[in-house]
Amino acid sequence: MGRIKKGIQCSVKGCDRPAIRSISYVDFSNSKLSLEIESLGNRVYLCREHYKEYKKATKKLRKIDKWRWV
């Protein structure tokens, strides 16, 4: 059973919603979002709203990576 199923909270400061996704800290730092993370570790846990912001911020990067591997 993973941490998300156990009910870990979102890693963003001031957010107390339950996390739905986890991403690596390296991927999160490459996205250049202006969100502050409470604790530094290997994983960043995001709630639905913050994950949506992350996806929007990394859309262009994901597309370029996809083209690179084709």
Q: Mean pLDDT per 10-residue run, the chain (70 residues)?
A: 87 92 89 82 92 91 81
Residue numbers of the domain that contains 40: 3-69
pLDDT at 13: 92
The answer to whether the pTM exceeds 0.85 is no
Phi-psi sector, 13: left (phi>0), alpha (psi -120 to 50), beta:
beta
Number of structural domains, the chain? 1
Output the pLDDT for position 53. Answer: 92
Residue whose token pair is 């202006």: 34
pLDDT at 34: 82
